[in-house]
Copies of this chain bind each other. A is one copy, B any other.
Amino acid sequence: MDAYELITTRRSTRRYLSRPVDPTSLSLVIDAGRYAPSGGNNQSTHLIVIQNHMVLQELAEMVKIEFSKMEVSDGMYTSLASAIRASKGEKYVFHYDAPVLIVTANRIGYGNNIADCACVLENMMIMANALNLGSCWINQLRWLNDNPLILDYMHHLGMLDEEKVYGALAIGYPDTADGMPVRTPLERKGNIVTMI
């Protein structure tokens, strides 16, 4: 694929095979993320790459429980409201049971923390697409990044005291009919352009 195709065919994949991601591919994806630009070249994004199935299951269970304690309120961000509603159902797995979850943490109070993490995540999504791996941006751990239980768990996984989660990415082999990532053309409804 040329650069334009590579970038514009990237969509979210939400069904994954349980098969682990080949280490060489995973390492290319992680590296692509590490080469993202950062404010003042700070490079302070911390990538916590979780492949351990028990850890992923434990985290998924905690996220479900913590969301299920929350209530949807007026004006709440739609995706967060959907997560809270879904968490009260029988099955809710925030990371779509992907075999890999890469959590991006960054320094609390650093002005570029969210933007830097987003660039790391975007690079990894494009690299995943190039390798025919599916990926999906995961916001749940960011929405819970003030939750004491989730914070404790992330610290236990190696997140530093001065860090918080500002995004995450599910990655894996797509569980689709043709085994390819979702690449249906994005319906253009926004991201409008004003030319001056």
Contacts and interface: CB of A to CB of B under 8 A. Distances in A.
Interface of A: 1-4, 6-8, 10-12, 28, 30-40, 42-52, 55, 77-80, 110-112, 114-123, 125-127, 129-131, 137, 139, 157-158, 166-167, 186, 188-196
A183 to B, nearest CB: 11
Interface of A is mostly: mixed
A8 B4 CA distance: 16
Contacts of A51: 195-196
Copies assembled:
2
A152 to B, nearest CB: 15
Given A3-B3, A47-B191, A48-B196, 5 more contacts: A6-B6, A11-B37, A48-B193, A114-B115, A126-B126
